[in-house]
Amino acid sequence: MIQLDGKDLTGLALLKRKAMVEALLANAADPIRFSGSIQADSDKVIREMKARGLEGLVAKKRDSRYEVGQRSGAWIKFKWTNEQEFVIAGYTEPQGARSYFGAILVGYFEGEELMFAAKVGTGFDHKTLKMLYEKFQKLRQAACPFANLPEKRGAHGGGMIASEMRRCTWIKPTLVCQVRFAEWTRDGHLRQPAFLGLREDKQTKEVVREQAA
């Protein structure tokens, strides 16, 4: 909470603002819920989170202020699954009983160049396939947006050769999505990627290859 009754609260410490939110929501009904703080040993918290199948948590300094319009070192994300944002820049033809498209083609930026990372063919239901396909039609373009295609090795190596590219439809790289995956291969591709959803809060040029800390 950064404002209350017209008063600016950004200068107050996080725990103070959370106490005010908790009081404000004391009688709130579902689906509104107060997100309480967890103040405990870090290792124990992470073990419990993992045991419940959760993917990560956000840690914040309890005395931190709200810094408007900028990233802050006062909070950090801990993730123990391999997951990050990627830019969608194309899709493949559907096969079998699937409608709309087969897989999306995703990548990340190195400087000004968009680098191909993977074909992502799982994680979609029928509604999502239709929604994405309709968005793609407004973004179609003739040229391949990826700087590192075609490659020498094709699908079995995680890459895409020229003959496979001819069956792809390219789109302007303006959509960002979240992808979960097992690992990066030595060739710079994703192993076992799965689509999690679109990210409308991210700009495409922010999407780079993340390095595990």
Is residue 211 included in any domain, yes or no? no
User: Does one domain contain both 94 and 47?
Assistant: no
CA distance to 85, 149, 178, 179, per residue, from 199 (Å) = 8, 25, 6, 10
- pTM, two decimals, is 0.67
Domain around 11: 3-79
User: Does one domain contain both 52 and 140?
Assistant: no
User: Does one domain contain both 46 and 149?
Assistant: no
How many Å from the N-terminal Cα to the C-terminal Cα in the chain? 30
Q: pLDDT of 31-62, one tens digit each? A: 999 988 888 888 898 888 888 877 788 888 98
Q: pLDDT of 60-77, one tens digit each? A: 898 999 988 877 889 888
- How many distinct structural domains can be found in the chain? 2
In this structure, are residues 141 and 170 in contact, taking their beta carbons and an 8 Å threshold?
A: yes
Average pLDDT over residues 151-167: 84
Residue 18 identity (one-letter amino acid)? K
User: Does one domain contain both 63 and 105?
Assistant: no
Is residue 44 included in any domain, yes or no? yes
Query: In the predicted model, is pLDDT for residue 157 greater than 70?
Result: no
User: Does one domain contain both 110 and 194?
Assistant: yes
